[in-house]
Chain A
Amino acid sequence: MRRWAAKVRDGIEGLRRSDQLLLVLSLVIGALVGLVVVAFILLTGRLAARMYPAGGSGWRRILLPVLGSLSTGYLLWRYFPFARGSGIPQTKFALFVNDGRILFRTVLGKFFCCSASLASGIALGREGPSVQVGAGIASVVARNLGLNAKQVKSLVPVGCAAALAAAFNTPIAAVLFSLEEIMGDLHASVLGSVVLSSATSWMVLHLVLGDDPLFHVPGYQLAHPVEFAVYAVLGVVGGLGSVAFVKLLLRLRAWFATWPQSTVWFQPVVGGLTVGVMGYFVPEVMGVGYNNVDKVLNGGVVLKLVVLFAVLKIIATAVCYASGNAGGIFGPALFIGAMMGAGVGSVAHTLFPQYTAGPGAYALVGMGTAFAGIVRTPLTSVIMIFEVTRDYNIIVPLMISNLIAFFISQWLQKEPIYEALAHQDGVHLPTAHSRDLAERSQVRQAMREPAVVLSPHEDVTTALGQVKGGPFDAWPVVDGDGLWGMVRNRELEQAASNGPASQKLAEILAASSPGWTPGGEKLPHVHPDHSLSLALERMGSTGLNVLPVVSRANVRDLMGIVILDDVLAAYGVAKRGNAMVPHE
């Protein structure tokens, strides 16, 4: 028994130390998050079916959103303050500011408050909250497993991808969203884990709920190449609609922020009442509204109605979100996009029936267009709609429309919605712009010609004479074949005091570490396209204030050197005496 326990302990210890730990945890988190999101979807649906039985009175549509927003508003204010809103900015805050830390209480609050809120008819979506729940579960599990902050942070996007894969039934788009929006880096090192968790979650979804797609779409077809122009118009309409929605939401939220702090618990009722009054006359505005999106995709709603639905949904979602209800904007973005698309499609089909497909095809593309315009993830939006339709023909119209909407949105609303929301809360998340700037600060901007280049065939005494009094910790050693390595001052001084004066630099370099070869793997270096932050990291890890800059094509081709002072200067910080002051 003891031996068996020891074996288990060894196995667990082996797993803990293994490089594969994150991959194994990605599977576990994928399954767990997938199941929780499925429970979230089912619970919301069951609650909604109980609250709004077939043939129920119209007054329910006013009363229930008010009661739902009142009760969840109080709970959010009193017990779950971090569970308000969508969940995406909160997840990014946890990831970039809080070492991936999301409280279990927040996960519970988000799950139950959102279920109640969405079931009562609040015009928000379930996908954003799912992302926060997924990220929260990943964070809670990782921290309880005793993982370090870096590992916890790398599991947060894993939870996000799993949540979105289950919520939208689109595993590839979930991976892209996790990288594009949450991480802000499509080349993130967690790609493998994210893919694994997304696939696992998607499998769990299908295991429990079957193969029913989120939307039932008829076969897409491009009736005529002229349609590309109509899709461009849809891109413009979608872009303008998205900007209108985002601006309205942000202004309303700023306005609610001016209300006295004591009203925070009550503010969601404004959203509940707004959606209730609208829903009394137009029930389609209430809730997530995917069944209405389904109808529009199948060409079942007339022009006047789709325009009315789009306008009312924009207002209802903006008020519900701004007033502090729990719920996301993904679902409403798809709803608004489908309605705008169907509107443009109806007009185009009426004007040019021979050259255009029915409104359903435009509604489908419109969904992606609004998503690209509002959430500002153009790649995710294209892939998401592609995954919904599984039809390759839709890719080009989607790209045209989505990119136009994306650029219009970027032009008229500088700050993306999630960054703007975080800003309103006093949080400065790393923006796409700042990431872009960081990427633009490359080694090539700070590199310089080496003042002294030593030869491997020089002896120690000659070399010391050349570098004496120099400001650097190490010096490049180069011959006709290229760079040999960097010889440190310390190594030269040690060789001079301990060995013969005729000792060559080549011998010193060879003795510096076992298995050393000229220009080999052990050579600390950077490439011109590396970021300055990486150069700083490498300086830190090697203990050198200078690194050779070598060509990617041939690491023995010395292109220059980069020194600490130049790196700091490139960041706008100059060294004056011992103190670091801003660079003038």
Chain B
Amino acid sequence: MSETTASASSGQFLRTLSLVALAIAAIFAADTFLAKSEEAESRIEADRLFKLGQSLLDRGNSVEAVERIKDALEIERGNRDYQRLLAQAQLTAGQLADAETTLDDSLRVDSTDGPANLTMARVLVKEGRIREAISFYHRAIYGQWNDDAQANRLKVRFELIDLLARQDSKEELLAELLEVQDQMPKDASARVRIGRLFLAAGSPVRAADVFRGVLREDNSADAYTGLGDADFARGDYRAAESDFESALRLKPEDPAATKGLDLSSRVLTLDPAVRGIGAAERFRRSRILLQMALDAGACVNPPPEDLLDQAEKTLKERVNLDGQYNATETNLDLAGQLWQARIAGCKPAPDPSDPLGLVLAKAAAQ
């Protein structure tokens, strides 16, 4: 009898356990289905909000875009695309601190995220933290890009180059330009731009090479103008004059080429060291330069009386043919001293493209 009872209660025990096991399996299946459908619906809703945010951002409504992308991120936390777009929207909306926080979160998960590093660099540029920004530009250049990595990295490099050019950081600019020299784009205008940046970085020789490279393939007025500027910066005013003339033949009204031609012509008319002129002409030019330097030095306060007297006296002196060589040297020397006095004693500083300064600098270098 007791065995029957035990068997009956064992049966009940087993039946209940089996039912519980079945219930666990069934509810697990139901939960998984509900969770998956919720996840799918949430993803669709998040995607809708993300796209709405993107279109708002494209239309310039960045403040509203920030809110919609935040809503999307609330549904799909940790979505890196959403985080990047949110940071961009915040940057555009001027919410720089928020953008930095968003990017901090994103970069904490993956510090090699190229786009996130680029946006962070842009945020820091806006905040005026240039050194940190340069560091983030480098992280972006060497970071991970999901698609078209090479083109994106080059784009970032150019953005950094532009920043360095604006900051007048010549050495860093040159270093970056040397990195892109081997990856020179095919597009002529982009190569002209690189040539220009080499010029800005203080490397006219490399700039001239770039422009010549362009001109080998394309008769571009901009390339001629750039080459003119490069030759001018190297002190080869004759070549520069020729380049500017070529540029103006292709693009007659080009203001940069016109200005460059005018400047190089003026320098050439003043330069006493230019080839093909005789001693008398050199002497004449040296007197003109001294007169110009004397006029320029009039603003110096207190006036360098000895120097001015000496210059005036020299200009009044009559020089015979034999003495012209020495007089030329004296004139140029005095003109150089007066120009230095003007640079030190007058404000504003003279224009770096002032023909007088250029000719005297060239003469001093020789």
Contacts and interface: CB of A to CB of B under 8 A. Distances in A.
Interface of A: 8-9, 12-13, 16, 28, 31-32, 35-36, 38-39, 42-43, 45-46, 49, 54, 141, 144-146, 208-209, 212, 216, 291, 294
B13 A12 contact: yes
Contact of A42 (B6, B19, B34, B77): B34
A54 B74 CA distance: 15
B45 interface: yes
Interface of B: 6-7, 9-10, 12-14, 16-17, 19-20, 23-24, 27-28, 30-32, 34-35, 37-38, 41, 45, 74, 77
Contacts of B9: 16, 146
Contacts of B20: 28, 32, 141
22 contacts: A9-B7, A12-B10, A13-B6, A28-B17, A28-B24, A32-B20, A32-B23, A35-B27, A39-B27, A39-B30, A42-B31, A42-B34, A42-B35, A141-B16, A141-B20, A145-B16, A146-B12, A146-B16, A208-B31, A212-B77, A216-B77, A291-B74
A209 B165 CA distance: 52
B31 A12 contact: no
B26 to A, nearest CB: 9
Contacts of B13: 12, 16, 145-146
A8 B13 CA distance: 12
Contacts of A42: 31, 34-35, 38
Nearest to B11: A9
Contacts of B23: 32
Contacts of A209: 35
B337 to A, nearest CB: 59
Contacts of B16: 141, 144-146
B35 A208 contact: yes
B27 A32 contact: yes
Nearest to B35: A208
Given A9-B7, A32-B27, A43 B12 contact: no
A8 B34 CA distance: 36
A416 B31 CA distance: 36
A144 B23 CA distance: 14
A141 B21 CA distance: 11
Nearest to A10: B10
A163 to B, nearest CB: 14
Contacts of A146: 9, 12-13, 16
Contact of B24 (A8, A35, A216, A294): A35
Contacts of B45: 54
A39 B19 CA distance: 18
B27 A45 contact: no
A525 to B, nearest CB: 37
Contact of B41 (A31, A35, A38, A49): A49
Contacts of A36: 27
A290 B19 CA distance: 35
Contact of B31 (A13, A39, A49): A39
Nearest to B19: A144
Contacts of B28: 35, 208
A145 B17 contact: yes
Contacts of A208: 28, 31-32, 35
Nearest to A209: B35
B232 to A, nearest CB: 57
A42 B10 CA distance: 36
Nearest to B21: A28
Contacts of B37: 46
A339 B39 CA distance: 29
Contacts of A13: 6, 10
